[in-house]
Homo-oligomer: A and B are copies of this chain.
Amino acid sequence: MTAVPTPTGRRERKKAATRQKIADTALRLFMEHGYDAVGIRDVAAEADVAVTTLFSHFASKEALVFEQEEDFERRLTRAVTERTPGEPALPALRREVHALVRHCTGAGAAPVWRMIDDSPALRAYEQAMKLRYARSLTAALLADPGLSHSETSLRALAWFVVDAQSLAREAEDPEAAVDEVFTMIEAAWRAGAERPA
Q: Does A130 touch B at the CB level, under 8 Å? A: yes
- The docked-state distance in angstroms from the alpha carbon of A153 to that of B167 is 10
- The docked-state distance in angstroms from the alpha carbon of A24 to that of B131 is 29
Q: A127-B124, A127-B128 are in contact. Are A191 and B183 (CB under 8 A)?
A: yes
| From B131, B151, B181, B189, contact of A127 by CB (8 A) | B131
Can you tell how many copies of this chain the complex includes?
A: 2
Chain A interface helix/strand/loop/mixed: helix
Q: Does A14 touch B at the CB level, under 8 Å? A: no
Interface band, chain A: 35 or more
A sample of 20 more A-B contacts (CB under 8 A), given A120-B128, A153-B181, is A123-B128, A123-B131, A127-B130, A128-B128, A152-B171, A155-B167, A156-B163, A156-B181, A159-B160, A159-B163, A160-B160, A160-B163, A163-B163, A180-B192, A183-B194, A183-B195, A184-B191, A185-B188, A187-B188, A188-B191
What residues make up the interface of A, taking CB atoms closer than 8 Å to B? 120, 123-125, 127-128, 130-131, 150-153, 155-156, 159-160, 163-164, 167, 170-171, 176-177, 180-181, 183-192, 194-195, 197
